[in-house]
Amino acid sequence: MKGNQHQLDGGGEATPTAKGQDVAICEECRQMPSKYKCPGCSIRTCSLPCVNSHKHRTGCPGKRDRSKFLPLSCFNDSVLLSDYNMLEEVKRVAESSQRTRAKLCPYSPYRLPLFLRGLRSAAASRKTKLLFLSNGMSKRVRNQTRYDHRKRLISWTIEWQFPSVDVVLYDHGIPEDANLRSVIKSHLQLGPWNHHLRRFCDVQLDQLKFFIRKHHKGPNSPFRELDIDAPIRQQLADLVILEYPVIHVFLPTDSYDFEILKDIHPIPQNRDAQDTCMNDSLHMNGACFPEEEIEDGHVESHTVDLMKHQNGQEVELDFDQGLIDAYSDLIALINPDEFLDLDCVYAGKEVSSVGNEVEEGEILE
């Protein structure tokens, strides 16, 4: 029996048994024989406290790495079943994420609903680039901007920010032909509910400063100063707006550290006078076209290009805004997939050709 007796020191990893077989010692407490083997790191432990201790010490999750390389010699039915379960779990998570995304965002940014496409097209005809967020975002939920196809009018949601007093106000259903003065004056009337804006109420509207960001990205994006007497439609031209316009209001004594852009090409106020002058110039000068002159006694003719004369002038075309809006709405309603739908066209021809064929011995009525 002396051959079966082993003396265990502090660094021993095995202990003798009655049959002479060595049993591994717990690698955590180094005192008791091990009973469990961790599937993740293969550490042997003897009890639940040792299992939890080794997880806390090593950060091991206690689960087998199912993506770890396994040689073909060690592959068996249990490994195959584990791989199958992993693939099923991945499929279940992918399908669950698709259902969750469909609930949060019912439409993609490339296939907007009809009313949003019409709104974006109407804004584009007014030289305003309108962007939309995913469904569920706070600005998307708060936005009530709509486009009336009958009136050809956009009703905006406007956010007013007063940075000096940290106040934010919202207006919904503001027509685009209104000016900022008529909208902001309702918020700057003295009353018990707007005591935070008392400093703005004591100042005349002409002395306040109104700014809007030209681009929605970047903290250093420049701002444009707005005219409170001009229509909102003209104020939002050549801007990139995310959901709805955000207007910043400053006191004349407030300081701001952002760049202010000035309009290089102002929008003309009197469009009718400009159209009348252009029509008169077209009527007086006319349009120049190549003309062929034929002389008597000559077989060959020569061409005189009147475009080379000095009295020829360039003609600029200016379409009516209502016509632009009408064509923009038609383009927004068109489905691009219908242009390449050739199956329906040729399918009808094939059916008609088959119907006209007469079998042998058949009499036509």
pLDDT truncated to tens, each residue of the chain (365 aa)? 444 444 334 334 444 444 545 678 999 898 899 999 998 888 999 999 999 999 998 888 888 888 888 888 888 998 899 889 999 999 999 999 888 877 766 665 557 788 888 999 999 999 999 998 887 788 988 999 999 989 999 999 999 998 888 888 999 999 999 999 889 888 887 776 677 888 888 888 888 989 998 887 777 788 888 988 899 999 899 899 999 999 999 988 887 778 787 654 444 444 444 454 445 544 445 555 555 555 555 555 555 555 554 444 444 556 666 666 666 666 665 655 554 454 544 444 443 444 455 454 444 44
Which residues lie closer than 8 Å to 79 by C-beta, 6 or more apart? 70
Q: What is the pLDDT of residue 296?
A: 55
User: What's the whole-model pTM score?
Assistant: 0.47
Q: What is the pLDDT of residue 265?
A: 46
Residue with tokens 């379960």, as numbered in its chain: 85
CA of residue 161 relative to chain centroid, distance? 24
Q: What is the pLDDT of residue 273?
A: 45
**Residue 23 in contact with residue 17, Cβ under 8 Å?**
yes
**Residue 156 in contact with residue 142, Cβ under 8 Å?**
no
Classify strands 167-175 and 153-162 as parallel, antiparallel or unpaired.
Answer: antiparallel
What are the tokens at 330? Answer: 């038609």
Q: By C-alpha distance, which of 141, 121, 140, 138 is closest to 130? A: 121
